[in-house]
Chains A and B, each alone.
Chain A
């Protein structure tokens, strides 16, 4: 049976090309792999190989022809001894390529298609039942307890990272875990973030539930390919077959006087990646409840801690199995004049400012996002619709910040409710300086939050 040989697409973008040269002539026998022609694309001259065996019955497009469209028949291949069919009459044409359906494939993103919502209802159920006994704990102790509890209940959970075992953790977050769980489950790694992040992801593919500690998230930059390309995207790329239940945790953001390379907040970076979940607790109770949720989550979770908060004490519910759900903001303080949205250490400034503003007669509602992905935008919108004014507070850089994203959500979904422009308070647009006075200036301050509150309330 005769087969038409079609002009091939030789690159992802090629639509037409020049048939530069035929290397076979009519009557020649070809086998798969034999070069039949040279074809010039916009990028290069490529050799075109035969895929089927047969005899060149007829050459349809002469050498030197320019602008030959992809899929135009350029020759007819026949079986040995067969007649060349009359032009175009009986040749079996290979099917035309599938329509790309690019236009049809356009799907409106829910963000732009969503109608202006009725006032969304924030989930304000309390994190623990009334009357629960509380104990005072540091964030450090709460994080350790969360890991220990999950390790006790599930053998697949293990911790790996630099100095997590014998040294008891560079910041003592893993203190005591080696003694309780042994070297099989509490694993010191060499200083090779790229490598051990990849091994952690592979172990998660293999059915374990790794907790990978980065001594700080600055060092995760060496490993970020595995966090994004290997961990976050695999479920999607595998059509839902292959998930990656892993927690990457460690201190994030500025500590104190450690300079530019050790002082960066990655909240905005990781929270822009579909496939990742991102938690950034402020209090000890949230640190514990969110970390337990993170370890149980079947998806990769970026868990951003803060060195300065590690030693701070909070009330933690004394419950056997206390967890905090992802995607549920916490209202630390109710108010009516403006909304302050923050997360992580930014909450320190937000709460201090609210206290001071109260003395000036300004009532601020303070929201702690707790997780940035999923983000509780309902809680933000509900609050803004009540107060009509919004400021956001974070330590990260100002361009493409988390606050910028929150602002866009509020602009799109609650524009008519705003009585003043939203203000995003961030760290300054500079690498972190070492000098004590400059470092202080580079971070967001309580004074700035207070000042912004006056600005949006025009008081």
Chain B
């Protein structure tokens, strides 16, 4: 990965760091549990885990304010937890139960929360990009200063509708932050095998959109870049692109044998660049927390995740009548 390890930011408070640690750990433990439940047959179909990419959503959520919107692809569990959706409701949707965010009718890829301004959860690669610009359009139309975080992967970055959207977003100064989560692989195809473009964010220049590359394994770097992008959008200057360099430790989905990369490559990222380990180090070396403090956090998170898992098993399957509801408003 072409990103350098940045120096730790000195102006971050202990509470903030602990918050990021907690939020990232929640996503990781939640996803591990989801993988386990999938293995037990409690979760079916497609299930795309976010393990490894936690710093992206946690860093960007740290730059958001109430009213801001977010929308993403099918790898969406991390985004939902980061914006404050209830792990119980997310896990119960994964198991297809009545207590899930979509009453069990959406599944892993399709969850929404009006309350948290989370607009899905979309299964068609790249489709969320114009949808996100449309959300930003609605805010601009209404005259407020909200921004929309529109997440997509390096794979979606080659879809034509992304560039149609760039063009209109810039033309109409839409307050949208295009977040390219570059985890290096579109399913099994590496970025290098899909494009000759040296970088993805620079493609925005063709439409006059500013952007930058961000180290996605460093939550503080992500937050700093997010704040810059948010300020740009709120000032009415139009869209901004963040290409966040990250890495997914698990397969594309649960049924991915991962033969397109070596175990060593994954192991190297895990041991040298892990985003959670990075914050853990900052906390310990900065004497913001003791090993025992962190162990207690681990324990708390484990309890939250176990509670979510229990809920997702105990919540009943949707009533059969639900087959015929919610087709029309």
Closest 8 CB pairs of A and B: A202-B134, A198-B130, A206-B138, A195-B164, A8-B39, A97-B41, A11-B255, A44-B257
Smallest distance from the beta carbon of A91 to chain B beta carbons, Å? 15
Q: From residue 23 to 43 of chain B, which have CB atoms closer than 8 A to chain A?
A: 32-33, 35-36, 38-42
Chain A, Cβ-Cβ closest to B122: A230
Besides A105-B317, A208-B138, A238-B120, 7 new A-B residue pairs in contact (Cβ under 8 A), listed by A number: A9-B39, A44-B257, A97-B42, A195-B167, A206-B137, A236-B105, A237-B102
Q: Does B135 contact A (CB under 8 A)?
A: yes
Which of A195, A200, A241, A274 is within 8 Å of B327, CB to CB? A274
Which of A12, A51, A230 is within 8 Å of B131, CB to CB? A230
Which of B51, B104, B131 is within 8 Å of A202, CB to CB? B131
Q: Does A98 contact B (CB under 8 A)?
A: yes
Q: From residue 242 to 275 of chain A, which have CB atoms closer than 8 A to chain B?
A: 242-243, 245, 274-275
Q: Does B114 contact A (CB under 8 A)?
A: yes
Q: Mark B318-329, 1 if CB is under 8 A from A, else 0.
A: 001001111111
Q: Does A170 contact B (CB under 8 A)?
A: no
Smallest distance from the beta carbon of B142 to chain A beta carbons, Å? 8
Give CA–CA (A158, B142) in the complex, Å: 12
Give CA–CA (A214, B109) in the complex, Å: 29
Smallest distance from the beta carbon of B324 to chain A beta carbons, Å? 8
Is there an interface contact between A107 and B320, defined as CB atoms closer than 8 Å? yes
Give CA–CA (A240, B103) in the complex, Å: 9
Cβ of B249: which chain A residues have Cβ within 8 Å of it?
33
Is there an interface contact between B33 and A51, defined as CB atoms closer than 8 Å? yes
Is there an interface contact between A229 and B137, defined as CB atoms closer than 8 Å? no
| Residue contacts A-B, CB under 8 angstroms, 8 given | A70-B41, A105-B317, A199-B134, A206-B134, A226-B127, A230-B122, A237-B121, A239-B101
Which of A44, A95, A198 is within 8 Å of B165, CB to CB? A198
Q: Does B205 contact A (CB under 8 A)?
A: no
Smallest distance from the beta carbon of A176 to chain B beta carbons, Å? 21
Q: Does A421 contact B (CB under 8 A)?
A: no
Give CA–CA (A107, B323) in the complex, Å: 8
Is there an interface contact between B327 and A275, defined as CB atoms closer than 8 Å? yes
Chain A, Cβ-Cβ closest to B134: A202
| With A10-B254, A105-B320: A202-B112 Cβ-Cβ less than 8 Å | no
Which of A10, A94, A203, A298 is within 8 Å of B137, CB to CB? A203
Give CA–CA (A234, B121) in the complex, Å: 10
Q: Mark B92-122, 1 if CB is under 8 A from A, else 0.
A: 0001000011111110001111100001111
Give CA–CA (A207, B143) in the complex, Å: 13
Give CA–CA (A204, B329) in the complex, Å: 13
Is there an interface contact between B138 and A98, defined as CB atoms closer than 8 Å? no
Q: From residue 140 to 195 of chain A, which have CB atoms closer than 8 A to chain B?
A: 158, 184, 187, 189-190, 192, 194-195
Secondary structure type dominating chain A contacts = loop
Q: Does B161 contact A (CB under 8 A)?
A: yes
Cβ of B160: which chain A residues have Cβ within 8 Å of it?
194
Q: From residue 414 to 433 of chain A, which have CB atoms closer than 8 A to chain B?
A: none
Is there an interface contact between A242 and B112, defined as CB atoms closer than 8 Å? yes
Give CA–CA (A240, B33) in the complex, Å: 27
Smallest distance from the beta carbon of B87 to chain A beta carbons, Å? 16
Is there an interface contact between A225 and B255, defined as CB atoms closer than 8 Å? no
What is the interface size of chain B, counting residues whose CB is below 8 A from a CB of the partner?
Answer: 76
Q: Does A43 contact B (CB under 8 A)?
A: yes
Is there an interface contact between A194 and B39, defined as CB atoms closer than 8 Å? no
Is there an interface contact between B258 and A190, defined as CB atoms closer than 8 Å? no
Cβ of A46: which chain B residues have Cβ within 8 Å of it?
251, 255-258
Is there an interface contact between B313 and A202, defined as CB atoms closer than 8 Å? no
Smallest distance from the beta carbon of B176 to chain A beta carbons, Å? 9
Q: From residue 214 to 234 of chain A, which have CB atoms closer than 8 A to chain B?
A: 225-226, 229-230, 234
Interface on A for B, CB 8 Å cutoff?
A: 6, 8-12, 14, 32-33, 35, 41, 43-49, 51, 70-71, 94-98, 101, 105, 107, 158, 184, 187, 189-190, 192, 194-208, 225-226, 229-230, 234-243, 245, 274-275, 277, 298-299
Q: Does B8 contact A (CB under 8 A)?
A: no
Cβ of A298: which chain B residues have Cβ within 8 Å of it?
329
Is there an interface contact between B130 and A226, defined as CB atoms closer than 8 Å? yes
Is there an interface contact between B132 and A241, defined as CB atoms closer than 8 Å? no
| With A205-B131, A274-B327: A238-B106 Cβ-Cβ less than 8 Å | yes
Cβ of A71: which chain B residues have Cβ within 8 Å of it?
40-41
Cβ of B325: which chain A residues have Cβ within 8 Å of it?
240
Is there an interface contact between A202 and B132, defined as CB atoms closer than 8 Å? yes
Cβ of B323: which chain A residues have Cβ within 8 Å of it?
107
Smallest distance from the beta carbon of B295 to chain A beta carbons, Å? 12
| With A9-B41, A51-B36: A299-B328 Cβ-Cβ less than 8 Å | yes
Chain B, Cβ-Cβ closest to A40: B257
Give CA–CA (A230, B128) in the complex, Å: 9
Is there an interface contact between B130 and A190, defined as CB atoms closer than 8 Å? no
Chain A, Cβ-Cβ closest to B46: A12
Give CA–CA (A230, B127) in the complex, Å: 8
Smallest distance from the beta carbon of B187 to chain A beta carbons, Å? 14
Q: Does B3 contact A (CB under 8 A)?
A: no
Cβ of A277: which chain B residues have Cβ within 8 Å of it?
328
Is there an interface contact between A199 and B165, defined as CB atoms closer than 8 Å? yes
Give CA–CA (A8, B40) in the complex, Å: 6
| With A225-B124, A230-B122: A9-B40 Cβ-Cβ less than 8 Å | yes
Smallest distance from the beta carbon of A286 to chain B beta carbons, Å? 21
Which of B40, B161, B329 is within 8 Å of A195, CB to CB? B161
Smallest distance from the beta carbon of B105 to chain A beta carbons, Å? 5
Give CA–CA (A208, B44) in the complex, Å: 35
Which of A35, A95, A195, A234 is within 8 Å of B130, CB to CB? A195
| With A9-B39, A194-B130, A229-B127: A235-B327 Cβ-Cβ less than 8 Å | yes
Which of A10, A101, A203 is within 8 Å of B138, CB to CB? A203
Q: Could you say which of A189, A198, A236, A239 has the most chain B C-beta atoms within 10 Å of its C-beta?
A: A239
Give CA–CA (A235, B120) in the complex, Å: 11
Give CA–CA (A50, B37) in the complex, Å: 12
| With A197-B130, A198-B127, A206-B139: A239-B105 Cβ-Cβ less than 8 Å | yes
Give CA–CA (A277, B101) in the complex, Å: 25
Is there an interface contact between B124 and A98, defined as CB atoms closer than 8 Å? no
Chain B, Cβ-Cβ closest to A229: B124
Is there an interface contact between A239 and B103, defined as CB atoms closer than 8 Å? yes
Q: Does B203 contact A (CB under 8 A)?
A: no
Is there an interface contact between A11 and B254, defined as CB atoms closer than 8 Å? yes
Q: Could you say which of A51, A235, A238 has the most chain B C-beta atoms within 10 Å of its C-beta?
A: A238
Give CA–CA (A6, B255) in the complex, Å: 17
Cβ of B135: which chain A residues have Cβ within 8 Å of it?
202-203, 205-206
Smallest distance from the beta carbon of B163 to chain A beta carbons, Å? 8
Cβ of B32: which chain A residues have Cβ within 8 Å of it?
32-33, 51
Q: Could you say which of B71, B102, B105, B137 has the most chain A C-beta atoms within 10 Å of its C-beta?
A: B137
